[in-house]
Amino acid sequence: MFAVLVGAILLVVILLWLIQKLKAVRWRRPERSSQPAIDRCICGYELTGLELARCPECGRVRGFNASADELGLTDEQLFLIEQKRRERERQSADIRPTSPPST
Ligand SMILES: [Zn+2]
């Protein structure tokens, strides 16, 4: 009788431990996926920090499978597109609670 009771308590403890482990895994996963992905062109060139929304390697416009000439965009327009994209990126970064508010 005593052995059955100890076995049941042990089973409950193990189940609670397993549930906590699963919860921890579920909570950790979104943090990992919110890490900024490396910004790459279709050709594989890294586009981080460029002034224009155009790949210097292959000439494709960021997010498109076509060159600026094919899309009829000037360098000035490519510059404005990149500025707007960065602005949007900054705004979405401000919304995300990545760091505690400074006092
Ligand atoms: Zn490219």
Q: What is the pLDDT of residues 41-60, one digit of tens each?
A: 999 999 999 999 999 999 99
> Over 60: is that where the pLDDT of 100 sits?
yes
What spacing in Å lies between the alpha carbon of 52 and ligand 1's midpoint?
13
What are the residue ranges spanned by the domains of the chain?
A: 2-26+40-95
> Over 80: is that where the pLDDT of 2 sits?
no
What spacing in Å lies between the alpha carbon of 44 and ligand 1's midpoint?
6
Q: Coil, strand or helix: which one is 3?
A: helix
Q: How far apart, in Å, are the Cα atoms of 80 and each of 44, 71, 86?
A: 23, 15, 10
pTM attached to this predicted model: 0.55
- Residue 1 is predicted with a pLDDT of 78
CB half-sphere exposure, 71, CA atoms < 13 A: 17
Determine the Cα–Cα distance for residues 3 and 15; give it in Å rounded to an integer: 18
What spacing in Å lies between the alpha carbon of 67 and ligand 1's midpoint?
9
- Residue 52 is predicted with a pLDDT of 95
Determine the Cα–Cα distance for residues 33 and 36; give it in Å rounded to an integer: 8
